[in-house]
Amino acid sequence: MRRTLNNIKRQQLARRQRMFLITGFSAVIMAVLLIFYLTPLATKGGLANVWQETQAKEASTSDGGESLSLGFGGDVSFVLEAEDVTKTGGADHPWGAISGLILDYDLSVINLEGPICSTGEPNQDQTSISVKNEPSNLAGMAEAGIDAVNLADDHVMDYGSAGLQETQSFLKRNQIATFGAGVNRRLAAQPALLESLDGAKVAIVGLCDVAPDSYYAGDSSAGVCEADLESVAGIIQEARKSAPYVVAFFHWGESGSTEVTQRQRDLAHASAEAGADLVVGCHPDVIQGLEIWKGVPIIYSLGNMVFYPKDEQGKKAIFAGCHFDGGSLISLEIIPLHIESARPQTASGNEAQLILEQVAKSSPGVDLAIDPRTRIAYLNL
C-alpha cells in the first residue's frame, strides 16, 4: 500500500538526500551517473513510476524486502464531540498532536467506526446510535498518514450497503485501503495487502464479533466479516498466501469493560494457531491487556483514538508499534495516549506511567519493559 502523496514525496526526498551525501564524495563520473539515474524518475509519468522505481532500487539492497514497521491505533469516529472539533479546527485538527507518531512507521492502521457517507437512512437493526462520518474529515486522516482502515465493526452498516459502498469509494479516493467488509462474504474476508516503500508486504484481515446479525456479509449480501470460530483459521491461512506477515484485527469484547472475555481469547488463540503473526483488537473503548499465545502477541483492546470518550477510562488508549524482519515479528512497543476533546496525543509523565502500569497489570505472564525515560513499554520477541 502506498503512503499518501505527501508521505511518499517526503520519504523519497529523504532517500535522495541520503544518496546525494554518499555520492558527493565520488568522482565526476559518479555525479554524472547520479544525474542519469534521477532524470528518468522525474520524467516517466509521475508519482506512480517514481514509487515503483524507488521500490525496485531499494529491494535489490534490502534483506529480501522483509523489514517492516507497522503502527496500530484504535477506534476513530468523527461524530459527537469529534464532529464539533473538526468543524471548528479543521479536518486535520484531531491528528495534529499524533501525526508525527503515525509517520514514524512504514504503515499505520486504525479501525473506522461507522460509514463515511452523505446520504441514506439509518439502519433499523442498529440498537445503539447510528454513526455517520462526514466525508470532509477524510483529508485530515489521509494527511496524518493512515494507510488502511478496518471496517469490520458494529457501525459501518449503519446506513446499509449503500453507505458501505460510499465509504469504500471515499477511502479509495483518498488512497486509504480497506478490509473487513465487502459486497459479499468472500470479499469481506479478503485481506488488505499493504506494501511499504521498501517492498515489504503485510496482509491484514478484519473480523467483527459484536455487530447486529444483519450486518454480517452473506454469500450475496454486503456486510462485515464475521468472527466465526469455524472460519477464522481459513481466513488467516488464505491471507498467508499473499504476504509473509499476517495480522488479524478484531472488533470484539464488551463495551466499557477492561476484562477480556473467553470469547475474545478463543478467537485470538484460533488466529494465532492458524498462522497470524499478530492479533489486535478494539471496541471496548478502554484499554485491555496483552497475551502471548504460542509465541504470538495479542493486544486485546487498543482503546480509542480519535473518538468521543464516554468517561475518564475512555480517554486512555495505546498505540502499538510493531517491527517485522526476517519473516517474523521481532519486537512490539506500546505507546500510551491521552485523548482530550477527541484529540489524541502521547501521554507523558505520571499519566503515561500509570497507563503502562495498567497494561502490565492486565497482562500476566507478558514481560513488558517500561522505559522510565521515554514512557514506552517494549516487548522483545
Structure letter (DSSP) for residue 328: E
In the chain, the largest separation of any two C-alpha atoms, in whole Å, equals: 72
Q: Looking at the domain that runs over 68-380, which CATH code has it been given?
A: 3.60.21.10
pLDDT tens-place string over residues 111-161 = 999 999 988 899 999 999 999 999 999 999 999 999 999 999 999 999 999
pLDDT at 328: 94
Domain ranges of the chain: 5-59, 68-380
Residue 37's pLDDT band, with cuts at 50, 70 and 90, is very low
Asked if the model's pLDDT at residue 41 lies above 70, the reply is no
The pLDDT, as a whole number, for residue 336 is: 99
pLDDT grade, residue 319 (50/70/90)?
A: very high
- Region 220-224: mean pLDDT is 99
pLDDT at 1: 41
What is the rounded distance in angstroms from the CA atom of residue 137 to the CA atom of residue 144?
11
Give residue-wise pLDDT tens across range 325-338: 999 999 999 999 99
Kindly tell me if the per-residue pLDDT of 43 is higher than 60: no
pLDDT of 248-276, one tens digit each?
999 999 999 999 999 999 999 999 999 99
Tell me what the mean pLDDT of segment 302-326 comes to. Answer: 94
Cβ neighbours of residue 102 closer than 8 Å, sequence gap 6 or more: 71, 73, 95, 108, 144, 145, 146
What is the SS3 assignment for 219?
Answer: coil
Q: Three-state SS string across 39-64, please?
A: HHHHHCCCHHHHHHHHHHHHHCCCCC
The Cβ of residue 5 has, within 10 Å, a number of other Cβ atoms equal to: 14
Beta bridge partners of 315: none
Binning pLDDT at 50, 70 and 90, where does residue 347 land?
Answer: very high
Q: Which of 272, 262, 324 is nearest to 69 (CA)?
A: 324
Predicted confidence band at 2 (pLDDT cuts at 50, 70, 90)?
A: very low
Whole-angstrom CA distances from 125 to 118, 167, 197 are 20, 19, 42
With H, G, I as helix, E, B as strand and everything else as coil, classify residue 332. Answer: strand
Rounded to whole angstroms, the Cα distance separating 117 from 134 reads 6
User: Per DSSP, what are the bridge partners of residue 30?
Assistant: none
Residue 23 has pLDDT above 60, yes or no: no
| 365 vs 345: CA distance, rounded Å | 29
C-alpha 321/C-alpha 323 separation (Å) is 7
Residue 362 has pLDDT above 60, yes or no: yes
Mean pLDDT is lowest, of 119-123, 190-194, 362-366, for 119-123
- Local structure of residue 284 (DSSP, 8 states): S
Is the pLDDT at 316 greater than 50, yes or no?
A: yes
pLDDT at 82: 87
Return the pLDDT at 63: 41
**Residue 178, CB half-sphere, CA atoms under 13 Å: how many?**
28
The conformation of residue 64, written as its DSSP 8-state character, comes to T
Phi and psi of 55, rounded to 5°?
Answer: -60, -45
> How far apart, in whole angstroms, are the C-alpha atoms of residue 309 and residue 113?
13
Does residue 38 carry a pLDDT above 50? no
Task: Give the pLDDT score at 17.
Answer: 40
CA distance 177 to 189: 14
Report whether pLDDT(174) > 80: yes
Bridge partner list, 334: 320, 377
Burial class of residue 26 in the structure, from the number of CB atoms within 10 Å of its CB (0-12 exposed, 13-18 middle, 19+ buried): exposed
Q: DSSP state, 191?
A: P
Q: What is the mean pLDDT of the chain?
A: 86
Dihedral sign (CA 348, 340, 148, 3): negative
The alpha carbon of 294 is separated from its chain's Cα centroid by a whole number of angstroms, namely: 23
Model confidence, pTM: 0.84
- CB neighbour list of residue 64: distance below 8 Å, 6 or more residues apart: none
Task: Using the predicted structure, report yes or no on whether residue 218 has a pLDDT greater than 50.
Answer: yes
